[in-house]
Amino acid sequence: MPATTDTGSRTRTGRTRGTRSRHNFRGNMLPAALTVSPVAIWFGLLILVPMIYVIVISFCSLDSNYNIVFRFTLDNYKRLADLDYLQIYGNSLLIALTSTVICLLLAYPFAYLIARMRGRAKIALYMLVIVPFWTNSLIRIYGWRTMLGAQGLFNKLLMGAGIVDKPVEFLFTRGAVILGMVYALFPFMVLPLYTALEKLDGSLLEAAKDLGARSLKTLFTVTIPLTATGIFSGCIMVFIPTLGYFFVSDVLGGGNSSMIGNVIESQFRRGNNWPLGAALSVILILITLVLVKLYQRAGGDMESLGG
Amino acid sequence: MIASVPTAGASVATDVVNGTDAVAAAVPHAPDTSGPDVADVIVELKNVNKVYDGVTVVRDLNLSVRAGEFLTLLGPSGCGKTTTLRMIAGFETATAGDILLQGVHVEDQEPFERDVNTVFQSYALFPHMTVAANVEYGLKMKKVPRAERATRVTEMLDLVQLGGFENRYPAQLSGGQKQRVAIARALINQPKVLLLDEPLGALDLKLRKQMQVELKRLQRKLNITFIYVTHDQEEALTMSDRIAIMHDGVLEQLGTPVQIYDRPASKFAATFIGETNLFEGYVADLTPDRAEIVIESGRIAVELPDDSVPGKPAFGPEDLVAVSIRPEKVRFSATPVPDFVLAGQVKDVIYAGSFASALVTIPNGSEVRIQRRAGEALPQPGETVHLYWELADAVPILGQSGVVFDTIIAATLATDEAAADALNATPGAVKRDAFDVAAATNDATDPDLQREQSEQREYVDRAPTDAGTHSTDLHRRQAG
């Protein structure tokens, strides 16, 4: 309140009040700075500096020995316009989208179940989502690789049951990559959905029923619209990591660089072409930013509707 | 009835030959229009029980709701009234018993299959829909054509005086407006019965009173059966055609507001509705039409209701009874009155605008309240008065559990020496081992009403002096 009055009066009555308020502000600077600085240093060192570094080298060139030289060029970005790279971006987005949709379809009923459960069953279901976090996801993905392999659990079961004669090639397919993504990111979809569903007022569902809506109608006219925020944030939290989880497509997709994360990784390591890798990263960051912006807009709208 | 008389007369006059037939035809018609009939019952609950985790929330409930009436389920929180409403709506399943809507069993019907609608306590408006979309929702679900939907929504919003609010969202409405939208939304499907679960609970007092009147008017206009749940006894008295008082999952009394106020059937009903003075004692002397009852502070008399009163309690000598007498029915006299031995000293006189009351301390230490309209005579503080009443004004209530009573006796005998002394000192008091407890309560049990009254109360404080002179000191106190 006082801040608003000050800004308002400053434009009208001139310097005196403005100066005083600035003085007060400066007096409060020290504690504020002390409180904020650890976070600011953390943020600056670990996020801002590397980010600027990536952006800078994305405009640098390589000399004949594949060393980075600070000579401005747009070649790296030009190369990205190649059909190959566009295809990889397209493929990555497709896999991310498919994984997100499958995640949503699986997670929504599950989150609904947790939200409606009471007591022990609720805790048990909730832990089913949380416990996998306690193990490294890379290890868990290798677990899938073992199970999906030619001598893996699934093929043994299928052959034992006489459904197939020779092992099915689950591994190194797009399906396997999507499976891995869905598996690895499922909790990130469940948690925001659960939060949204838990907040949903049960009497609204009763009101819909009371007014003649059957279960499915209630779901589409009340439950889903009122949990749209959770759906959006869940989708964002699955979609964006999918683009970057290169190890999943590495382990389950056979490392044939089908996704953008793999390409970036290989440019930095095997390819030793940091500027190109950086350019690829910058584009990925831009895509992510656009998505987050879209989410904020959608989320913001939902909030003003729901409040 | 008035309308039917000229019609019958006209047919006699014009149709002279068949005059007798016309009269004969009119006669069997009469009971249908006046008295309650089986065909009139729209909701029927038979031996309904509801058990949650081993706790019986509603016990052996039998209730018939007549078409077009305003029935209130009244009781304190946790008495099972909301559960009963939710069983009628279909949100809860009865553990045992039958629920019939227009004579059809609905126990297994889903809420969307039942021809009833609910106004929820929290309104439960869909926050992502406009006012118009909220109201239209029921019609959409019933697949009413778009054009008809639009006109009916407009009509309904006009009915609840919310025309022009179509495009607002619930978050942009005040509590009273939300309430109206909730009512409009529930009424748009023209249900046979409207269920209202404490719909005015969240509104402030002034708005609540206004909405009470509006709801009642709406109910008369649309001629829809309302089943209304509240814990507010004043609300129930104001709006209802009949009140069902529930307590601990049991229906204690069902009757018109006047019946319930004048002839409460249980101690709970007597204290929950309005203010009352309650005396507990045993029947000492019994004739077919009256009983004399010995209480801790003396002896009182009461007229027994005649046999035509339904649920007339059957009293026997020495039965433990409670007697309820409303504060406005208590009379006082400077000299002893026949049939009564009940004297006390006036402790305080309280002036409350339109009425005033005197608090009289009787020998066992409890207070009896006498209430009069402002300007009518009341005894002065410090005076000793003999209390009595018209025998027909007091209501005898039977049905204390002997076990409970014995426990209280044991407890009071063990601890309360002073009470025993007071008993001995009282003229006319009877010493009796099996009887020791009598209480007179005059507290209104409804906290809302108490608060409301105390807000506008003016106290006349008169310091009592022994010579009968009074120093009067009038001042206001603001409770709060």
Q: pLDDT digits over A60-84, tens only?
A: 988 888 888 888 888 889 888 888 8
Residue A136 is assigned to a structural domain of this protein: yes
Look at residue A306 in the predicted model and tell me its pLDDT.
Answer: 31
Look at residue B119 in the predicted model and tell me its pLDDT.
Answer: 95
Residue A41 is assigned to a structural domain of this protein: yes
CATH of the domain at B173: 3.40.50.300
A206–B120: do the CB atoms touch at under 8 Å?
yes
Percent of chain A clearing pLDDT 70 (strictly above): 86
Look at residue A180 in the predicted model and tell me its pLDDT.
Answer: 93
Residue B92 is assigned to a structural domain of this protein: yes
Look at residue B472 in the predicted model and tell me its pLDDT.
Answer: 32
Look at residue B415 in the predicted model and tell me its pLDDT.
Answer: 55
For B18, phi then psi, to 5°, come to -100, 25
Which of A211, A217, A227 to mutate: most B Cβ within 10 Å?
A211
B124–A206: do the CB atoms touch at under 8 Å?
yes
Place of tokens 């009903």: B269
Q: pLDDT digits over A272-284, tens only?
A: 888 999 999 999 8
Same domain membership, residue B385 and residue B328? yes
Of A250, A234, A229, nearest to A296 by C-alpha is A229
Look at residue A288 in the predicted model and tell me its pLDDT.
Answer: 85
Mention every residue, 6+ apart, whose C-beta is less than 8 A from residue B303.
B289, B290, B391, B392, B394
Mean pLDDT in residue range B149-163: 94
Which of A201, A206, A210 to mutate: most B Cβ within 10 Å?
A210
Q: Distance (Å, rounded) from C-alpha B428 to C-alpha B243?
A: 40
Decide which of A292 and B258 is more confident. B258
Of B158, B174, B183, B247, nearest to B207 by C-alpha is B174
Work out how many domains chain A is built from and give that number. 2
Mean pLDDT in residue range B424-445: 40
Look at residue B82 in the predicted model and tell me its pLDDT.
Answer: 94
CB pairs under 8 A between A and B: 68
Mean pLDDT in residue range B93-111: 93
Of B337, B195, B364, nearest to B277 by C-alpha is B364
For the purposes of burial, counting CB atoms within 10 Å of the CB of A88, is it exposed (0-12), middle (13-18) or buried (19 or more)? buried
Mean pLDDT in residue range B206-219: 92
Tell me which residue in A207, A212, A305 faces B124 most closely, judged by beta carbons.
A207
Output b/e per residue, B69-86; b: 16+ Cβ within 10 A. bbbbbbbeeebbbbbbbb
Q: Distance (Å, rounded) from C-alpha A46 to C-alpha B35?
A: 85
Low-confidence winner among A253-267, B102-116, B378-392 (lowest mean pLDDT):
A253-267
Note whether A298 contacts B: Cβ–Cβ < 8 A: no
Note whether B122 contacts A: Cβ–Cβ < 8 A: yes
Look at residue B311 in the predicted model and tell me its pLDDT.
Answer: 52
Mean pLDDT in residue range B177-190: 94
Q: Distance (Å, rounded) from C-alpha A53 to C-alpha A55?
A: 5
Measured between beta carbons, which residues in chain A are less than 8 angstroms from residue B120?
A: 203, 206-207
Sign for the CA dihedral angle at B268, B273, B275, B279 comes to negative
Residue B261 is assigned to a structural domain of this protein: no
Same domain membership, residue B292 and residue B201? no
Place of tokens 């209280």: B408
Same domain membership, residue B342 and residue B444? yes
Mean pLDDT in residue range B245-253: 93
Measured between beta carbons, which residues in chain A are less than 8 angstroms from residue B136?
A: none
Look at residue B153 in the predicted model and tell me its pLDDT.
Answer: 96
Same domain membership, residue B24 and residue B149? no
Q: Which amino acid is at B475?
A: H
The confidence band for B27, taking pLDDT boundaries of 50, 70 and 90, is: very low
pLDDT of A50 strictly over 50 = yes
Q: Distance (Å, rounded) from C-alpha B254 to C-alpha B277?
A: 21
Residue A64 is assigned to a structural domain of this protein: no
Same domain membership, residue A139 and residue A15? no
Structural domain that includes position A292: 75-306
A212–B138: do the CB atoms touch at under 8 Å?
yes
Structural domain that includes position B57: 40-255
Same domain membership, residue B128 and residue B216? yes
Same domain membership, residue A22 and residue A132? no
Residue A66 is assigned to a structural domain of this protein: no
Q: Distance (Å, rounded) from C-alpha B332 to C-alpha B344?
A: 10
B171–A203: do the CB atoms touch at under 8 Å?
no
Look at residue B449 in the predicted model and tell me its pLDDT.
Answer: 43
Of B113, B120, B91, B134, nearest to B194 by C-alpha is B120
Q: Cα A155 to chain center, whole Å? A: 32
Mean pLDDT in residue range B372-395: 91
Same domain membership, residue A38 and residue A133? no
What ipTM was assigned to the predicted interfaces of this complex?
0.73
Tokens representing residue B423 in the block: 């008993």
Look at residue B352 in the predicted model and tell me its pLDDT.
Answer: 87
Work out how many domains chain B is built from and give that number. 3
Distance from first CA to last CA of chain A, Å, rounded? 23
Chain A residue with CA closest to B127: the answer is A306
Place of tokens 């007071």: B422
Percent of chain A clearing pLDDT 90 (strictly above): 36
Residue B51 is assigned to a structural domain of this protein: yes
Mention every residue, 6+ apart, whose C-beta is less than 8 A from residue B96.
B47, B48, B49
Look at residue A295 in the predicted model and tell me its pLDDT.
Answer: 75
Mean pLDDT in residue range A130-147: 89
Same domain membership, residue B246 and residue B116? yes
In the 8-state DSSP scheme, what is residue A44?
I
Same domain membership, residue B123 and residue B164? yes
Q: pLDDT digits over B270-320, tens only?
A: 989 888 999 988 888 888 788 889 998 899 998 887 655 555 556 777 788
pLDDT of B431 strictly over 50 = no
Same domain membership, residue A188 and residue A99? yes
In the 8-state DSSP scheme, what is residue B73?
E
Q: How many CA atoms lie within 13 Å of B43's alpha carbon, on the beta-carbon side?
A: 29
For B200, phi then psi, to 5°, come to -105, 5
pLDDT of A10 strictly over 70 = no
Look at residue B216 in the predicted model and tell me its pLDDT.
Answer: 93
**Which domain-ending residue is among B231, B255, B279?**
B255
Of B267, B177, B274, B269, nearest to B235 by C-alpha is B274
Note whether A210 contacts B: Cβ–Cβ < 8 A: yes
Angle, vertex CA B299, rays to CA B295 and CA B301, nearest 5: 110
The confidence band for B128, taking pLDDT boundaries of 50, 70 and 90, is: very high
Q: pLDDT digits over A161-218, tens only?
A: 888 888 888 888 888 999 999 999 999 999 999 999 999 999 999 999 999 999 999 9
Residue B260 is assigned to a structural domain of this protein: no
Look at residue B102 in the predicted model and tell me its pLDDT.
Answer: 92
Same domain membership, residue B450 and residue B416? yes
Same domain membership, residue A280 and residue A246? yes
Same domain membership, residue B73 and residue B108? yes
Look at residue A210 in the predicted model and tell me its pLDDT.
Answer: 95
The confidence band for B407, taking pLDDT boundaries of 50, 70 and 90, is: low
Mean pLDDT in residue range B368-392: 92
Look at residue B282 in the predicted model and tell me its pLDDT.
Answer: 87
The confidence band for A293, taking pLDDT boundaries of 50, 70 and 90, is: confident
